[in-house]
């Protein structure tokens, strides 16, 4: 028998959540990550928004994913003694007339009401801070401090002796382990065992801005979003989608777009302190893809978290654990072997 149950390649949201699930199940795990300064997970705002998009739709299976995420992150906060998951209010400001019309219908739907703030704040936002003439609503959301979650987890794994900083090389003879699992994000497009899986990846750019005064810790959404950080004067502003230029280079064009959109509703002056870009690993919309390789049975894959990694990763990681440990089926449409 191999001395280790699983080698997990990549410590982004996918690798970190899977490592926790396998460790909690009593398996021996080694997490290996090349520790790039900028990755999709490290720059993500970690927003978990149940009501999304212009259609004001409920996020896919949010009633399953959100309770699972809450339990998962709360357990890990207990384990590590650190706080990285925050229940937060978010304000959605309308910028098109049809959004308001849709809202008038949706607000009567009990499934939708579950995620609304009750009572709705009045005014929705401080009029000195933002322009809300077209109306909007406040909702109950959450936010994962992703960079902190990853850093705290890495420290924990290091203390257990199950983390190493290394570029994993798939082209040489693979090390002994029951499973070697690729959690490499968009880099998996170049993995020689999994390069046949088609990506619809999207580059995203995000700004870090500083206001001249502290603001309430709420995210505000109006086409783009601004998301709070630990510092009440500093917000993250994002994000853009670019399906053509799949690199990590910040562009003046995206910065201009984000700044202009922020200025269209925020009245306070701000300075841009940082500007980052990374590629979201999107395979099939926001559905993850996971499972074992169709031929190489000890090679696994957990990817495709898309734009919803903070919300989806805990539930999918738990499904993968149950599949590996108990032979439970993977969620419909997400099983690598059945889909490709």
Binding site residues, ligand FAD, CB under 6 A? 9-15, 32-34, 36, 39-41, 43-47, 167-168, 183-187, 204, 206, 238-239, 278, 280-281, 303, 305-311
Q: To the nearest whole angstrom, how small is the minimum distance from the Cβ of residue 206 to ligand FAD?
A: 4
Q: To the nearest whole angstrom, how small is the minimum distance from the Cβ of residue 104 to ligand FAD?
A: 28
Q: To the nearest whole angstrom, how small is the minimum distance from the Cβ of residue 187 to ligand FAD?
A: 4
Beta strand 224-228 with 219-222 is: antiparallel
The smaller minimum CB distance to ligand FAD, of residues 32 and 153, is found at: 32
Residue 25, CB-side half-sphere exposure with 13 Å CA sphere: 20
Q: To the nearest whole angstrom, how small is the minimum distance from the Cβ of residue 185 to ligand FAD?
A: 2
Helix (H) or strand (E) holding 234: strand 234-238
Q: Which two tokens stand for residue 119?
A: 């009572």
The smaller minimum CB distance to ligand FAD, of residues 108 and 249, is found at: 249
Given a contact cutoff of 8 angstroms between Cβ atoms, the answer to whether 12 and 40 are in contact is: yes
Q: To the nearest whole angstrom, how small is the minimum distance from the Cβ of residue 2 to ligand FAD?
A: 19
Which residue's structure tokens are 């007339």?
97
Helix (H) or strand (E) holding 274: strand 270-280
The smaller minimum CB distance to ligand FAD, of residues 41 and 153, is found at: 41
The smaller minimum CB distance to ligand FAD, of residues 153 and 239, is found at: 239
The smaller minimum CB distance to ligand FAD, of residues 49 and 106, is found at: 49
Q: To the nearest whole angstrom, how small is the minimum distance from the Cβ of residue 225 to ligand FAD?
A: 8
User: 62-80 and 309-326 helices cross at what angle (nearest 10)?
Assistant: 80
Sort 109 into a burial class: Cβ within 10 Å, 0-12 / 13-18 / 19+. Answer: exposed
Sort 121 into a burial class: Cβ within 10 Å, 0-12 / 13-18 / 19+. Answer: middle
At 237, is the secondary structure helix, strand, or coil?
A: strand
Q: Which two tokens stand for residue 53?
A: 């998009």
Q: Which two tokens stand for residue 320?
A: 């993968």
Q: To the nearest whole angstrom, how small is the minimum distance from the Cβ of residue 166 to ligand FAD?
A: 6
Measured distance CA(225)–CA(206) in Å, rounded: 10
Q: Which two tokens stand for residue 124?
A: 């929705």
Measured distance CA(240)–CA(113) in Å, rounded: 29
The smaller minimum CB distance to ligand FAD, of residues 201 and 215, is found at: 201
The smaller minimum CB distance to ligand FAD, of residues 54 and 113, is found at: 54
The smaller minimum CB distance to ligand FAD, of residues 14 and 124, is found at: 14
Maximum separation of any 2 CA atoms in the chain, in Å: 66
Q: To the nearest whole angstrom, how small is the minimum distance from the Cβ of residue 198 to ligand FAD?
A: 16
């Amino acid at each position: 028998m191999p001395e280790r149950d699983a080698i997990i390649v990549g410590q982004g949201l996918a690798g970190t959540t899977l490592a926790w699930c396998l460790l909690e199940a009593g398996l021996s795990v080694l997490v290996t990550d090349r520790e790039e300064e900028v990755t999709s997970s490290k720059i993500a705002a970690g927003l978990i928004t149940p009501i999304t998009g212009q259609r004001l739709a409920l996020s896919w299976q949010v009633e399953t994913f959100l309770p699972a995420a809450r339990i998962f992150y709360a357990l890990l906060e207990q384990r590590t003694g650190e706080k990285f998951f925050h229940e937060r209010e978010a304000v959605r400001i309308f910028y098109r007339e049809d959004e308001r019309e849709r809202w008038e219908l949706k607000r009567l739907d009990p499934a939708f009401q579950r995620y609304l703030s009750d009572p709705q704040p009045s005014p929705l936002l401080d009029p000195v801070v933002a322009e809300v003439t077209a109306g909007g609503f406040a909702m109950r959301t959450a936010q994962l401090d992703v960079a902190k979650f990853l850093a705290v987890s890495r420290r924990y794994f290091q203390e257990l002796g199950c983390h190493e900083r290394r570029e994993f090389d798939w082209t040489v003879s693979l090390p002994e382990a029951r499973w070697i699992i690729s959690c490499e994000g968009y880099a998996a497009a170049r993995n020689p065992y999994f390069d046949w899986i088609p990506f619809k990846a999207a580059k995203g750019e995000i700004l870090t801005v500083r206001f001249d005064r502290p603001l309430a810790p709420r995210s505000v959404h109006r086409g783009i979003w601004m998301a709070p950080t630990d510092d009440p004067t500093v917000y993250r502003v994002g994000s853009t989608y670019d399906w053509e230029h799949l690199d990590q280079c910040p562009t003046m064009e995206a910065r201009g777009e984000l700044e202009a959109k922020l200025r269209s509703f925020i009245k306070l002056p701000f300075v841009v302190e940082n500007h980052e870009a990374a590629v979201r690993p999107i395979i099939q919309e926001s559905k993850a893809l996971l499972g074992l390789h169709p031929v190489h049975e000890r090679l696994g894959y957990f990817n495709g978290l898309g734009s919803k990694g903070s919300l989806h990763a805990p539930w999918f990681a738990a499904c993968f654990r149950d599949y590996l440990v108990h032979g439970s089926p993977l969620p419909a449409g997400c099983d690598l072997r059945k889909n490709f």
